[in-house]
Amino acid sequence: MAEVSVGRTTQRSAALFERACRTLIDGVASPSRGPLNYHPHPLYMEGGCGGRLRDVDGNDYVDLMLAFGALVHGHAHPRLVEALQRAAERGALTATASEIEIVVAERIASMHPCAERVRFANTGTEACMAALRLVRGYTGRDKIIKFEGHYHGWSDAYSLRSNMPGGDAVDSLGIPAGALADTIVLPWNDVDAVERALDANKGDVAAIVTEPVMANMGVIPPRPGYLQALRELARAAGALFYVDETVTGFRLGPGGACGRFGIEADIVTFGKALGAGFPVAALAGRAEVMEALEHGRVLHYGTQNANPALLAVVDESLRMLDDAAYARLEQLAGRIVSGLREALDGEAIVQSVGPMFQIYFTDAPEITSYRDFGAHVDRDRFNRFVHALFEHGVYTSPSPALHSVLCTAHTDEDVDRVIAAAAASV
């Protein structure tokens, strides 16, 4: 793609937004892509290539959003395009048993330490909903423990305190109180809070549900030993330990966060990077737990589950995620994080785990919790900073809660451009 442009205009995006608002809610397909975060209008994208994205006015950007982390190999990787073309010739969907679902399930099981059995779904939200029903069905218990600031999709039972601090506790209108009656929300990175809640709800908690890295308030790493402590507390309480790897799976390493931090989950969910840009998600876990899904005892259906055309892409994508690919991601991450820290010194801090990172404009030395985020992060400044990055040819979400990410297609030149753009935008 062409060089990053300067002196850009976004007239076509402006015109499309005006037109879009007549038929689409907020002019977009998901609220975070619209006026909630973008001013005066979102940028309409034509497409991408590798780690770059081009808008409809012909401006190029280094893409750090990568479809909210879905594009582990960037845009239109030639091997994935070819896999999709070949698969499309065999038809879009059979909705029958197919060999490719076995191949991909075997691949997932060989990569992730907790995936003895696999069930495919289509989106992270859907996989998390199925996992919730599974933990309840398997244990015969109703309550779940989740954490403030953690997001597990938009279904009712999880929709408590997932939004940024300061808003309503319930994430949405239209959720009956009963749907949330069994959802216990606790501060994260706090072992005592979990101990107390398990004590107060003895015999009633089906699962502790956690993001392994808090990735929907930027990037907040787990304290050393915290995830292991959750595992042990769950086991002692007869509850399951459910790690939502929608963001971290196939990104923080072949074994996701579980592999990286050496933790043993009963159930995990995947989305985003698993699908390499296509709607493929999965739940996986210990055989004994997953087998509660047999014969639909815990019901989970789906016309599109294990779509063979999309799984052909996933198979190719997972093959490409070898040790060299992860080493490359770590190396790029090391460079971008140290470069950004230097460029933003005194203005912002940068937190990261592997290729996921977040810039926080804050007076605090570190952001360790949802409450820290609420008290110490200058969200408006982040939003303005990202709009300035657009001017300098870098794209990421202007939402201060949504982190940036690198892909295997990014180059050292992309990293240099981001660092220069950040220095010019601050």
Binding site for ligand PMP (CB under 6 A): 68, 123-125, 128, 151-153, 211, 215-216, 244, 246-247, 271
Residues pairing with 220 in the sheet: 214
- Per-residue HEC secondary structure of 208-252 comes to EEECCCECCCCCECCCCCHHHHHHHHHHHCCCEEEEECCCCCCCC
CB of 188 to ligand PMP, least distance (A): 12
Q: Which is nearer to ligand PMP, 153 or 255 (CB)?
A: 153
- Shorter beta-carbon distance to ligand PMP: residue 149 or 165: 149
156 is an active site residue: no
Adjacency order of strands within the sheet including 356-360: 349-353, 356-360, 404-405
Nearest residue to ligand PMP by CB is: 124
Give min distance, CB of 124 to ligand PMP, in A.
2
Alpha-carbon gap, residue 325 to 121, rounded angstroms: 26
- Catalytic residue chosen out of the listed positions 138, 151, 360, 370: 151
Of the candidates 197, 269, 204, the one whose C-alpha atom is nearest the C-alpha of residue 239 is: 204
Query: Min. distance of Cβ 122 from ligand PMP in angstroms?
Result: 8
State both tokens at 278.
Answer: 């296509």
Query: Is 244 a catalytic site residue?
Result: yes
- Is residue 55 annotated as part of the catalytic site, yes or no? no
> CA-CA distance, 356 to 210, in Å (whole number)?
17
Q: Which is nearer to ligand PMP, 238 or 302 (CB)?
A: 302
Task: Say which residues have a Cβ less than 8 Å from residue 77's Cβ, sequence separation at least 6.
Answer: 50, 276, 317, 320, 409
Residues 6+ apart with CB under 8 A from 289: 134, 135, 138, 240, 266, 267
If the CB atoms of residues 215 and 409 are measured against ligand PMP, the closer one turns out to be 215
How far, in Å, CA of 255 to CA of 264, rounded?
A: 11
Complex with ligand PMP: residue 268 or 415, whichever CB lies closer: 268
Q: In this structure, which amino acid lies at residue 278?
A: F
What minimum distance in Å lies between the beta carbon of 403 and ligand PMP?
Answer: 10
Minimal distance in Å, beta carbon 30 to ligand PMP?
8
Q: Report whether 135 contacts 152 (CB < 8 A).
A: no
Question: 157 near 185, Cβ under 8 Å?
Answer: no
Question: Distance (Å, rounded) from C-alpha 351 to C-alpha 411?
Answer: 21
Q: For residue 268, what are the β-bridge partners? A: 243, 284
Nearer to ligand PMP, 247 or 252 (CB): 247
Q: Which of 272, 360, 370, 414 is catalytic?
A: 272
The answer for residues whose C-beta is within 8 angstroms of residue 184's C-beta and 6 or more apart is 143, 144, 145, 146, 197, 201, 205
For ligand PMP, give the closer residue by CB, 379 or 417: 379
Q: Minimum distance between the CB of residue 350 and ligand PMP, rounded to whole angstroms?
A: 20
CA distance 261 to 213: 10
Query: Choosing from 244, 315, 372, 414, which is the catalytic residue?
Result: 244
Q: What share of the chain is helix, strand, coil (3-state, %, to 5)?
A: 40, 15, 40
* Contact indicator for 268, 118 with CB cutoff of 8 Å: no
Q: C-alpha dihedral over 8, 68, 172, 212, to 10 degrees? A: -140
Q: How far is the CB of 246 from ligand PMP (least distance, A)?
A: 3
| Residue with smaller CB distance to ligand PMP, 123 or 383 | 123
Which of 199, 232, 198, 211 has its CA nearest to residue 148?
211
Residue 126 CB, nearest distance to ligand PMP (Å)?
Answer: 7
Catalytic residues: 151, 244, 272
